Amino acid sequence: MEQLAFYIFSAIMLGFAASVVVNRNPVTSALSLVVSFVGLAALFVMLNAYFIGIIQVLVYAGAVMVLFLFIIMLMDIKAEKRRELNLVAFGGGIAVTLGFVAQLATVLSKFTPGRAKMSPLANEGSDVKLVGHELFTNYNFHLQVIGVLLLVSTIGVVVLSRRATK
């Protein structure tokens, strides 16, 4: 049962991720990316990471993708016209990707500790509390640095998108 759910969610995630790459219309790509991220959130939930799964849906499938769709709408981008393909670049891209997949298969086939099956958790469902505890004790300083980073990036976006007025 769990095996079946894993395969279904993986297929949804990988299939729609491939559709992001293949589709020529950016709006179709963006909507496929939303579905792909929801599939990924389902995999997080299967790994008992409920907090990360919810964050994934809220931040990625919600905020980030709305931003993408908004920008696509603002720029009024039509589907790409077919241009002549740069065969060297295309072949190179495919070759590098296939090389990466081959490397992955070789490494994973020799990684014996990874064949262990998932063992049940002792503290099913209390991960929000534990992640929060970790965040506000061991990683408290890092959390505040992230706050500064968000402030700086907000200021950066405002400066970048301001029209130059003289």
Residue 42 C-beta: closest distance to another protein, Å: 11
Residue 114 C-beta: closest distance to another protein, Å: 4
DSSP string, 2-33: HHHHHHHHHHHHHHHHHHHHH-SSHHHHHHHH
Question: Residue 76: what are its φ and ψ, rounded to 5°?
Answer: 55, 55
Task: Enumerate residues 45-74 that contact another protein by CB under 8 A.
Answer: 46-49, 51-52, 55-56, 59-60, 63-64, 67-68, 71-72, 74
Residue 107 C-beta: closest distance to another protein, Å: 9
Calpha distance 152→91 (Å, rounded): 40
Q: Is 21 in the site for another protein (CB under 8 A)?
A: yes
Calpha distance 54→38 (Å, rounded): 10
Contact 128, 51 (CB under 8 A): yes
**Burial of 142: CB neighbours in 10 Å, binned 0-12, 13-18, 19+:** exposed
Q: Is 8 in the site for another protein (CB under 8 A)?
A: no
Q: Which member of 87, 88, 120, 165 binds another protein (CB under 8 A)? A: 120
Q: Is 88 in the site for another protein (CB under 8 A)?
A: no
Contact 34, 61 (CB under 8 A): yes
Spell out, one character per residue from 122 to 151, where the chain touches another protein: x when CB under 8 A holds, - when not.
xx---x--xx--xx--xx--x---x--xx-
Q: Is 77 in the site for another protein (CB under 8 A)?
A: yes
Q: Which member of 114, 141, 165, 166 binds another protein (CB under 8 A)? A: 114
Q: Is 108 in the site for another protein (CB under 8 A)?
A: yes
**Burial of 130: CB neighbours in 10 Å, binned 0-12, 13-18, 19+:** exposed
Residue 166 C-beta: closest distance to another protein, Å: 16
